[in-house]
Chains A and B, each alone.
Chain A
């Protein structure tokens, strides 16, 4: 039997139901794993083992009475620190942010607690969530469990590292340009960017979503059954839909799938990433799917425009801070957004307009296909100390070409591991679905999970 800390949420719930395991022993095992690994990994913030044990005890009593609170009662969970939990500050990865305890749980945290999830800790992120890196002015440097000199990616950096290291089975991140899928790809886990509005969040914003980060597709689906429940605080949420999240096993025969290997801008895809993604596509073809190449459809103008809009948005917040506070922000982030100081209204508006251009380009590319496959990122992970794979604040988004358009388009997309580099780092395959077809991308990911070669053992990080 696997170590308790490595068991999936699906297996844990079944073991609680059949009284083979108790939430207390599982929580203790996960706490022991964290205590052994965290000094090197730095994935967590506001880690509270005492509260977690207390919550596990309460869950144990509920299971003993046969009255679990919900679908994940007694399952250890971490939550990205920018998702508010009542009584805990929300530093947003930035030393300049005041540490004021949150007044209430944000929707994903509220759903997690209502369903009985055991909150172990919050997970780390870079300043304002605007880096695909574990680098932060507030948190210690988060590292990748597959190779401690490598970056876990981000901005859901701690969540990616925690999932790969076995800090329990369920983790949640947020994603506005790839922040769930990129660390999922670089840490070898499953990360779902749901359709825009599928998982209620607060505050909502264009392109921003929250999604599960887990080791298996079924655990992501299970967590979606909890997180997708309605919350009136999200003014951009979709109407609630009763989706059969755990009905995952479907064939792929006859599906028409596009294979997208050059986004059109940004870093070129490395040969080993391209090889791994093509190999994944061949597995789908062998199972009866129709695979067709999709040419590049994004442009330099699109990402440069979105970059201008994001810089302007960041500067609007940061320009209000005192010079002392500004000096506390990660220099890379400050240097990036300060360039917006003298942007004209036209520069910002034409930047904003690229969101629509990107959305239209992806909708057009997807028409005629059930799904599109692509690399999650053009390259595998990069040095832990870097802010991005290019590490240049004036070229901040060269690595998000395959992921960002999906945020602007609103479609669901999942990252799942499809291979390893020569050095043993994971390579992510992105599956993009039609708008609102969240269950479709999970079914295709589940099909891939059953077809792909056996995965390497999960990394063990010992202090």
Chain B
């Protein structure tokens, strides 16, 4: 299954956020089919399309992305 997750992030340290996002994906062993980032001043919109192997992996991915400071589901 492919799951597309969209987040807005208010932070000046976008590089760190993308790095953390990729780290989370790597740790959970999820394959990414799309990663888009749009920057508008101090705010960024993130869209990530992933293929989690199960619902629990998808839930965990949401939990972990939600823990990135300033990240909110769009």
Chain A positions within 8 Å of B, measured between CB atoms, are 261-262, 264-268, 274, 293, 295-300
Contacts and interface: CB of A to CB of B under 8 A. Distances in A.
B10 to A, nearest CB: 20
8 contacts: A261-B27, A262-B28, A267-B67, A268-B67, A293-B29, A295-B54, A296-B57, A300-B63
Top 8 A-B pairs ranked by shortest CB distance?
A: A296-B60, A264-B60, A265-B63, A296-B56, A299-B59, A297-B56, A295-B57, A268-B64
B53 interface: yes
B28 to A, nearest CB: 6
A300 B53 contact: no
Interface in B45-64: 53-54, 56-57, 59-60, 63-64
If over half of A's interface residues share one DSSP class (helix, strand or loop), that class is named, otherwise mixed; here it is loop
B60 to A, nearest CB: 4
B interface residue count range (under 10 / 10 to 19 / 20 to 34 / 35 or more): 10 to 19
Interface of B: 24, 27-29, 53-54, 56-57, 59-60, 63-64, 67
A295 B63 contact: no
Contact of A262 (B53, B54, B60): B60
Contacts of A267: 67
A262 B24 CA distance: 10
B53 A295 contact: yes
B59 A262 contact: no
A264 B63 CA distance: 8
Interface hub of B59, B63, B64 (most chain A Cβ within 10 A): B63
B29 A296 contact: no
Given A262-B60, A265-B60, A300-B59, 15 more contacts: A262-B28, A264-B59, A264-B60, A265-B63, A267-B67, A268-B24, A268-B64, A268-B67, A274-B27, A293-B29, A295-B29, A295-B53, A296-B56, A296-B57, A299-B59
Nearest to A263: B60
Nearest to A266: B63
A297 B59 CA distance: 10
A295 B52 CA distance: 11
Given A262-B60, A264-B59, A296 B28 contact: yes
A55 to B, nearest CB: 51
A23 to B, nearest CB: 51
